[in-house]
């Protein structure tokens, strides 16, 4: 493990129980029946513990969308051709993708990172060029990347977060783009949860039954060829992962180290979370699962992580679209705690009065 990575992992400390207790006490004196804002109340308390503030604040919001290509698409595992990864990166930069629309609505900035797109991308002031390589190798024939590349991908995620924290960052959402990355994510999920590949493999961008059977076969071959060791998360990332997935591992670890709540998106972010929480079990408390996606295996993955999703809207776009909606809910949770009047301030009688 590199110095940067082990330092970041060491920086991850438990939630601040004192701030959480104070947030909980405040929730109970706000002008509403106790507990009546349900998960928004729980979320506000989690945010307090992460930010170490009795009244957490969500003002500076960002989605980090990382893009990378996958050698395994040569096996015909996706409904879309590989060049779509690069095309969609340009779409992000042009503001026309789903994630652009939703981040505009929630007032979050979006950071687009080229972690390993297979083609040279035109320079753009909005694009962070952090290419580890021009796409991964075909994992059904050899490891997707070297151990050094896996470490490099994670470190890049750590550095991206550090530079965003310097600009002000109260919450971060994870996003991904990479044709073929549900294949890598299913492989990671199978290894880390111990479940059969068929149970954690879905249709990705929308493949038909026959192609799905083929995708499962390709993943099984990748596992047989590489034999990734679930006890060594970096080994798993290197053998069957992706550069954007590694980058997101770094984003999650660094955010937690900097006490920034992480809203994880769908299946690909979930796969990154499996690697990241294996590297640092403390990380789990810093994660907020935005939604359960329509991708097969995501529900199982979230259960394995012990996370309960906020939304269940049948979404499966990736890019961070689910995470952006989750950031909205986290902001609502923080605002409620910060802005609602207490019973005393508003002159409202409290409940359970005698005789009622």
Active site residues: 319
Q: Does 94 bind a copy of itself (CB under 8 A)?
A: yes
Residue by residue, what is the 3-state secondary structure of 271-307?
A: HHHHHHHHHCHHHHHHEEECECCCCCCHHHHHHHHCC
Give which of 266, 319, 269 is closest to 295, Cα–Cα. Answer: 266
CA gap 310, 330 in Å, rounded:
10
| Cβ–Cβ under 8 Å, residues 27 and 41 | yes
| Cβ–Cβ under 8 Å, residues 150 and 1 | no
- Answer for which of 8, 88, 111, 236 binds a copy of itself (CB under 8 A) is 88
CA gap 239, 241 in Å, rounded:
6
Kindly state the smallest distance separating residue 12's Cβ from a copy of itself, in Å.
Answer: 28
Q: Does 34 bind a copy of itself (CB under 8 A)?
A: yes
Residues near 62 by beta carbon (within 8 Å), at least 6 away in sequence: 108, 109, 110, 111, 164, 169, 171, 172, 173
| Cβ–Cβ under 8 Å, residues 300 and 199 | yes
CA gap 214, 194 in Å, rounded:
20
- Answer for which of 4, 11, 198, 313 binds a copy of itself (CB under 8 A) is 313
The smaller minimum CB distance to a copy of itself, of residues 139 and 329, is found at: 329
| Cβ–Cβ under 8 Å, residues 184 and 241 | yes
Q: Which of residues 332-351 bind a copy of itself (CB under 8 A)?
A: 332, 335-336, 339-341, 345-351
Q: Does 303 bind a copy of itself (CB under 8 A)?
A: no
Q: Does 209 bind a copy of itself (CB under 8 A)?
A: no
Q: Does 290 bind a copy of itself (CB under 8 A)?
A: no
Q: Does 316 bind a copy of itself (CB under 8 A)?
A: yes
Kindly state the smallest distance separating residue 135's Cβ from a copy of itself, in Å.
Answer: 16
- Number of chain residues interacting with a copy of itself (CB under 8 A): 65
| Cβ–Cβ under 8 Å, residues 26 and 54 | yes
The distance in angstroms from the start CA to the end CA of the chain is 62
Q: Does 205 bind a copy of itself (CB under 8 A)?
A: yes
Residues near 146 by beta carbon (within 8 Å), at least 6 away in sequence: 238
Choices 8-16, 92-100, 149-157, 232-240; region in contact with a copy of itself by CB under 8 A: 92-100
Q: Which of residues 243-282 bind a copy of itself (CB under 8 A)?
A: none
- Answer for which of 6, 7, 81, 303 binds a copy of itself (CB under 8 A) is 81
- Answer for which of 120, 148, 229, 312 binds a copy of itself (CB under 8 A) is 312
Give which of 132, 245, 131 is closest to 187, Cα–Cα. Answer: 245
Q: Does 299 bind a copy of itself (CB under 8 A)?
A: no
Give which of 171, 151, 115 is closest to 275, Cα–Cα. Answer: 151
Q: Does 118 bind a copy of itself (CB under 8 A)?
A: no
Choices 145-153, 160-168, 234-242, 317-325; region in contact with a copy of itself by CB under 8 A: 317-325
- Answer for which of 6, 7, 18, 39 binds a copy of itself (CB under 8 A) is 39
- Answer for which of 20, 40, 245, 305 binds a copy of itself (CB under 8 A) is 40
Q: Does 150 bind a copy of itself (CB under 8 A)?
A: no
Query: What is the 8-class DSSP label of residue 2?
Result: -
Q: Does 31 bind a copy of itself (CB under 8 A)?
A: yes
Kindly state the smallest distance separating residue 106's Cβ from a copy of itself, in Å.
Answer: 9
What are 175's strand-pairing partners? Answer: 65
What are 64's strand-pairing partners? Answer: 111, 174
Q: Which stretches of the chain bind a copy of itself, using CB under 8 A?
A: 30-40, 76, 78-81, 83-84, 87-88, 90-91, 94, 96-98, 100-102, 104-105, 204-206, 294, 310-317, 321, 325, 328-329, 331-332, 335-336, 339-341, 345-353, 355-356
């Amino acid at each position: 493990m590199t110095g940067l990575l082990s330092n970041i992992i060491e920086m991850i400390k438990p939630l601040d129980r004192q701030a959480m207790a104070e947030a909980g006490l405040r929730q109970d004196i706000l002008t509403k029946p106790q507990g009546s804002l349900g998960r928004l109340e729980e979320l506000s308390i989690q945010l307090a513990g992460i930010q170490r503030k009795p009244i957490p604040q969500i003002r500076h919001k960002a989605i980090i969308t990382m893009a990378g290509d996958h050698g395994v698409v040569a096996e015909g595992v996706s409904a879309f051709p590989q060049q779509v990864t690069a095309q969609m990166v340009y779409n992000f930069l042009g503001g026309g993708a789903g994630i652009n629309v939703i981040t505009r609505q929630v007032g979050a900035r979006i950071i687009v990172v080229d972690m390993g797109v297979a083609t040279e991308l035109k320079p753009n002031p909005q694009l962070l060029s952090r290419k580890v390589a021009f796409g991964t190798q075909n994992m059904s024939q050899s490891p997707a990347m070297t151990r050094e590349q896996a470490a490099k991908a994670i470190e890049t995620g750590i550095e991206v977060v550090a530079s965003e924290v310097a600009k002000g960052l109260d919450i971060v959402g994870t996003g991904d783009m990479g044709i073929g990355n549900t294949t890598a994510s299913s492989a990671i999920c199978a290894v880390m949860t111990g479940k059969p590949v068929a149970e954690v493999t879905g249709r990705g961008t929308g493949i038909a039954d026959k192609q799905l059977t083929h995708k499962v076969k390709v993943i099984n071959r990748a596992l047989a060829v590489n034999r990734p060791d679930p006890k060594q998360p970096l080994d798993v990332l290197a053998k069957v992962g992706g550069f954007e997935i590694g980058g997101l591992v770094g984003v999650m670890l660094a955010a937690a180290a900097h006490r920034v709540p992480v809203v994880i998106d769908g299946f690909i972010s979930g796969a990154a979370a499996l690697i990241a929480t294996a590297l640092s079990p403390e990380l789990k408390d810093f994660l907020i699962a935005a939604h359960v996606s329509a991708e097969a295996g995501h529900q199982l993955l979230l259960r394995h992580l012990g996370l309960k999703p906020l939304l269940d809207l049948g979404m499966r776009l990736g890019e961070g679209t689910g995470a952006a909606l989750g950031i909205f809910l986290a902001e609502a949770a923080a605002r409620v705690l910060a802005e609602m009047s207490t019973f005393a301030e508003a002159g409202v009688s409290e409940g359970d009065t005698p005789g009622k």
